[in-house]
Amino acid sequence: MGQSRMAVTVDVVHVVKRYGRKVGLHDMSFHVAPGSALGLVGPNGAGKSTLLRLLLGLSRPTRGNIWLNGVALWPRPERAMVDVGGFVDLPRFYPYLSAAENLAMLADLTGCPRQRVIEVLQAVHLYEARLNKVGGFSHGMRQRLGIAVALLKRPGLMVLDEPQDGLDPARLEEMRGVIEQARQELGATFIMSSHLMQDVERLCDQIAVFDGGWLRYFGSPADLGKDRGEEVLWEIYPAGPAVAFLRGLGIWARCPSSDRVLALWSPARDLEEVNRILIQQGFRIRTVVIRSASLESRLLRYLGDSHVDVR
pLDDT in tens, 128-147: 999 999 999 988 889 889 98
User: How far is 48 from 210, CA to CA, in rounded Å?
Assistant: 7
**pLDDT over 80 at 307, yes or no:** no
pLDDT confidence of residue 233: 92
Residue type, 144: R
User: How far is 91 from 21, CA to CA, in rounded Å?
Assistant: 29
CA distances from 215 to 26, 139, 240 (A): 8, 30, 32
Contacts of 101 (CB under 8 A, 6+ apart): 94
Using DSSP's 3-state secondary structure scheme, residue 177 falls into: helix
Helix (H) or strand (E) holding 303: helix 295-305
Residue type, 222: A
> Per-residue confidence at 81, pLDDT binned at 50, 70, 90?
confident
At 225-240, the pLDDT tens digits run 666 568 899 999 999 9
At 11-38, the pLDDT tens digits run 999 999 999 989 999 999 999 999 999 9
List domains and CATH numbers for the chain: 10-220 (3.40.50.300), 230-292 (3.30.70)
Least confident of 149-163, 208-222, 286-300: 286-300
| Sheet with 260-265, edge to edge strand ranges | 253-257, 260-265, 230-237, 284-292
DSSP character string of 187-255? --EEEEE-S-HHHHHHH-SEEEEEETTEEEEEE-GGGTTTT--EEEEEEEESHHHHHHHHHHTT--EEE
At 89-119, the pLDDT tens digits run 878 899 999 999 999 999 998 889 999 999 9
pLDDT confidence of residue 308: 39
**Contact yes or no for 92/81 (Cβ under 8 A):** no
At 32-65, the pLDDT tens digits run 999 999 999 988 889 999 999 999 999 999 999 9
CA distances from 9 to 72, 76, 83, 190 (A): 12, 18, 11, 10
Contacts of 90 (CB under 8 A, 6+ apart): 139, 142, 143, 146
Nearest to 153 by CA among 52, 84, 72, 79: 84
**Contact yes or no for 182/158 (Cβ under 8 A):** yes
Q: Phi and psi of 145, rounded to 5°?
A: -65, -35
